[in-house]
């Protein structure tokens, strides 16, 4: 089974995509592919953050209900 990438790994990959796009050495097609990759990484990061937020809310609720 494949391991899920950590938030930090996803963020690092996103930073690499941004650096490539800012470098201005890619073709239009390459830029488009990197942009798509970046969008997917953003979605993955947002999902990880949403899950963490839900878990924190649940833990906080448990503390105040005990």
Mean pLDDT of the chain: 93
pLDDT score of 66: 62
CB atoms within 10 A of CB 10: 20
Length of the chain: 66
Does residue 52 have a pLDDT over 70? yes
In the predicted model, what is the mean pLDDT of residues 22-51? 97
Q: Token digits for 51?
A: 């899950």
pLDDT interval class at 3 (50, 70, 90): low
- Rounded average pLDDT over 38-49: 98
Q: What is the pTM of this model?
A: 0.83
Q: What is the CATH code for 7-65?
A: 1.10.287
Residue ranges of domains in the chain: 7-65
Crossing angle of helices 7-23/28-65, nearest 10°? 150
Residue bearing tokens 């990438």: 5
């Amino acid at each position: 089974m494949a391991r899920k990438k950590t938030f930090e790994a996803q963020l690092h990959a996103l930073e690499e995509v941004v650096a490539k796009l800012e470098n201005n050495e890619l073709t239009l097609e390459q830029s488009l592919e990197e942009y798509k990759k970046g969008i997917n990484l953003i979605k993955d990061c947002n999902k990880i953050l949403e899950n963490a937020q839900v878990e924190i809310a649940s833990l906080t609720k448990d503390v105040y209900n005990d």
